[in-house]
Amino acid sequence: MPSQRVWISFDLGVQGDYEGLYQWLDGRNAIECGDSVASFDFAYAVDLPRELGTELVANVRTNQRSRVYLIFVDAQGIRFGWLIGRGQRPAWEGYAPSGGAGDATFGWEPPTGR
């Protein structure tokens, strides 16, 4: 079976099955890559996302608040998407100046005459 390096980002909610997830990750010798991000090698037969998702839900209790995002690189390039759950409004939404980056001024003018 082929094996592929994968990264998952997870948010199981306040009462999520972190113990089950951590046991599952430890069994795969996963490395920590920041808050709620792990990387490990995953062996699969045909369809990496489907097989990883199936194995994950068989070992970790999930609910409507559980979210797991998968990232990996294969012959098609960088692939990514939600294994469990879906995206939410990002915490950083609305922080950028309205009207785009062109509205920012720093009190200087670029040099001319070049």
In a domain, 21, yes or no: yes
pLDDT digit string, tens, across residues 74-114: 888 999 999 998 888 888 998 888 655 444 444 544 455 54
Give the tens place of pLDDT for each residue, 10-31.
999 999 999 999 999 999 999 9
pLDDT of residue 51: 94
* CATH code for position 45: 3.30.70.240
The count of C-alpha atoms lying within 13 angstroms of the C-alpha of 59, restricted to the half-sphere facing its C-beta, is: 17
pTM: 0.79
Task: List the Cα angle 55/59/62 in 5-degree steps.
Answer: 100
Q: Could you tell me which residue, 106 or 8, shows the higher pLDDT?
A: 8
Number of separate domains in the chain: 1
**Residue 76, domain member (yes or no):** yes
Is 83:49 a contact under the CB 8 Å cutoff?
Answer: yes
Q: Which domain holds residue 54?
A: 3-84
